[in-house]
Amino acid sequence: MKNKIRVHRAEREITQEQLAQGLGVTRQTIIAIEKGKYDPSLSLAFRIARFFNVRIDEIFLDDGAPPNKP
């Protein structure tokens, strides 16, 4: 899933580490989400949106790809 986390971080001058600490996840999780290698859980996606005080659809974009299969 494509996202605009990096854009929102840059606008607020927040590092990946600061975002990770604010969300209670690791920096590696933020890196993976930003690169599109990991789709966050719905709960984490909403926490990210709340962290930036925006709607979830302002951060996450559906790229039309089928969901990852376990």
pLDDT greater at residue 69 or residue 56: 56
| Fold held by 2-60 | 434 Repressor (Amino-terminal Domain) (1.10.260)
Specify the pTM. Answer: 0.85
The phi-psi region of residue 48 (left if phi > 0; otherwise alpha if psi is between -120 and 50; otherwise beta) is alpha
Average pLDDT over residues 24-50: 97
Distance CA 4, CA 53 (A): 13
Query: Cβ neighbours of residue 51 under 8 Å, at least 6 residues apart?
Result: 19, 22, 23
pLDDT, residue 1, reads 85
- SS3 call for 2: strand
Residue 66, pLDDT score = 61
pLDDT on residue 23:
98
Residue whose structure tokens are 């925006």: 54
Question: Is residue 62 very low, low, confident or very high in pLDDT (cuts 50, 70, 90)?
Answer: confident
Largest CA distance in the chain: 35
